[in-house]
Amino acid sequence: MPTTKEAQAIADDVFSLFISEEVDKVELLYTKFVSLIKSEPVIHTLLPLSPKGEVCDINGVCVDAAEDEMFRLTTKEGRLTVEREMVRTPTPDFSPVLLFEQDPVQILDALLPLYLNSQILRALQESLASELANRMNAMSNASDNAKELKRSLSATYNRQRQAKITGEILEIVAGANALE
């Protein structure tokens, strides 16, 4: 089971890489748990954050950080394909009535590690839930297949046993008829 300590260790490493500018973007890839029979791969942008939900690089190319990409493995015309879907998270503007007593940098420095930790912990937990659900489905399918195999083998065994008994009865009848 994922723990907050494990998530915190990952969050600390990711945050230090981002702050030291070794990476310019941090994306979290994980398997989102939807139900016991369905899970979806997700790419979630953790860093950088921006108040408007948009991040622009040095070339002026902007990416909406409030959008996540979801990939679904499906089949079309008998071939495996990947469908890509953008999921938009609404980003409301701050109310002008809202006042912050502390410096925004202090607030961000206090909240960002908590945010990263919670997002990473959630992703770890959802991935584990997806894995366990898939294992449970695999074991259920294996049990069903074993029951079907047992039924099939029992029927085959019984047919061969009946054929052998019938052959022995025919030999006995043939022997009795030969004695007459």
Residues forming a β-bridge with 79: 76
- For 16-33, b/e burial (b = at least 16 CB within 10 A) is eebeeeeeeebebebbbb
- Strands 26-35 and 62-64 turn out to be unpaired
- φ, ψ dihedrals at 65, nearest 5°: -75, -10
Give the whole-angstrom CA distance, residue 127 versus residue 1. 11
Q: Where do the domains of the chain lie?
A: 4-87+102-130
Q: Can you tell me the distance from the alpha carbon of 49 to that of 112, in angstroms, rounded to the nearest whole number?
A: 9
Tens of each residue's pLDDT in the chain, 180 residues: 899 999 999 999 999 999 899 998 888 889 988 888 888 888 888 888 754 455 444 455 555 555 566 667 777 887 877 777 776 666 567 677 777 788 878 888 888 899 999 999 999 999 999 999 999 999 999 999 999 999 999 999 999 999 999 999 999 999 888 887
Locate the DSSP E strands across the chain. Answer: 26-35, 38-47, 54-56, 62-64, 67-76, 79-88
Backbone torsions φ then ψ of 88, nearest 5 degrees: -95, 125
Q: How does pLDDT run across 115-129, given as a tens digit for each residue?
A: 999 999 999 999 999
pLDDT tens digit sequence for 54-73: 544 445 555 555 556 666 77
Q: What are phi and psi of 94, to 5 degrees?
A: -70, 145
Query: How far is 126 from 30, CA to CA, in rounded Å?
Result: 8
Please provide the CATH number assigned to the domain covering 4-87+102-130: 3.40.1380.10
